[in-house]
Chains A and B, each alone.
Chain A
């Protein structure tokens, strides 16, 4: 009798845990047509563990603590990047435990964090789908599920001894995402914002393809140590700008359509306007050009110029794609330009290798040429040339002419007043 009771109890307990087959139907928070979030049934195609929110795209881990302290004795004497990354993880955390209520075979989150968790996973899945279908990156290239440290304590000791708040990020040294707690941001949590999470996912893809999955990429470590670091400054700006552009690209796959101002549901108007890709008059000005060429990476980043230059780049791409109606073609071309082993048509990764000993060769002209060379459609190529020449203030003669990547019809634009030669 007792054995029967125990067995029955075990069966009962085992039955308590929802174990739906993939794909999983669940409710998540999705942006609606009127610009506000609503709860909506979504299908999670890759989620295999609904309790611990783990699937082939991501696994969510809670309670972690990551700390970067230059004076940390654990960082001394470390010789490998992997050991460095692991030394930053002071508490590896534990799997999250989603709380569900099952109704009609659909999982309903039973608390706020489960709403946030399921929407986070859904957003990562949509981002993966975008890079797989639009970017033509095979699923196998993404490797193991990405670790997402949910509500982690992330401390950058040299800037602030307290954990960072109100942010979401891809952190290359630990090869993981972080969604940190909100504090002052009281609009939509960042994890719920599909564009923002796709922006972070785009950083991971950039690291995967351009940096070769390096935790401490050469362009940052080698170029960033110089007094003036134009190459490091530019690649940081590229990383941010392309992340914005692909974040926008993912919003185009949603039911509500493209949102070039996707930051607006989470951030204030000032930041949202600063990052609005549809704003047509963004230009590299004299100050930006001077800082790009001469400022050390720390100074450049300290002023947030990588975001400002990145938005100019993303805006130029946006204008080229939208004006020709070739948005997805351009997005695919840009992703294909991340890494290309084809002889005579290097990608960004190969350009970095070429310029590794002289970062001056990694500049707006050479980077523009890489992008343009990966576009085959002539009208699109022309539009892209015009936008880059115009907004990035690249001299026409650098890109147009015999042996140059742009067609002769490309002559730039007249949105941005030409800068005098330095």
Chain B
């Protein structure tokens, strides 16, 4: 048969090539072939040690289970395609400290926020999705006065705020969080008298603290919807502003 003949020829050639092969020409130390350990030598010096066996028949099971969990922790996230970043648009009511002495001066507030789940780099599963931090910008303003004399003021809040979240849900996609951070507030105001405008700007330290509900339900393998409802307090210098609102965006 043609096939058997071919196989036979190839076999002869292969064996011949082995027989005629010259000694290896590359003889640097790096390229030198590795020697197998001398089994006889090992056996002569030290007898082979067998794994110690416990008298408790359940001990090995416990040990294996612990080892398994540790491995899982170390491998956590290897199957999570998300990077732990999120971006959200914020909208809500800012209850500005009332200069006129009311409970508050409510006004619309908008902003942007970027979140990083820095707990992912700690290689600790309980902290993996519970520790994160925001970089946030928000803006709130108000206007008042008469036609002749009126003022307009804007407050810009810039903050960095780490948070701790108690996650729940099947995929740990929801949680309740508390947050504490700081930054600075940029204030600008203009007073218009007739056609004359007087502008004033200033910066104040900012303390941010509050709590809220956070959700990250997955909408694809690599992306999740990210949203929050929050009650956040901003201490702007000596003034206390309170934000009640929410945000929505994506996490990836």
Contact = CB atoms under 8 A, between A and B. Distances in A.
Interface in A180-224: 182, 185-189, 192
A327 B174 CA distance: 77
Contacts of A103: 200, 202
Nearest to B155: A110
Nearest to B200: A108
Contacts, number: 120
Interface stretch (A8-16, A79-87, A229-237, A397-405): A8-16
Interface string B100-134: 11110000000000000000000000000000000
A61 interface: yes
Contact of A112 (B97, B101, B153, B194): B153
Main secondary structure of the interface of B (DSSP, over half): strand
A63 interface: yes
Given A36-B194, A186-B146, A101 B205 contact: no
A330 B116 CA distance: 75
A279 interface: no
B239 A97 contact: yes
A18 to B, nearest CB: 8
Contacts of B101: 60-64, 93-97, 150-151
Interface in A42-59: 51
Interface of B: 97-103, 142-153, 187, 189, 191, 193-194, 196, 198, 200-202, 204-205, 207, 235, 237-239
6 contacts: A64-B101, A111-B99, A111-B153, A114-B99, A115-B151, A189-B145
B19 to A, nearest CB: 76
A41 B196 CA distance: 17
B174 to A, nearest CB: 30
Given A16-B238, A111-B144, A151-B100, 14 more contacts: A13-B235, A18-B238, A29-B193, A36-B194, A63-B98, A96-B98, A99-B187, A109-B191, A110-B189, A112-B149, A112-B191, A113-B100, A113-B144, A187-B148
Given A62-B102, A97-B97, A113-B99, A37 B205 contact: no
B238 A101 contact: no
B215 to A, nearest CB: 31
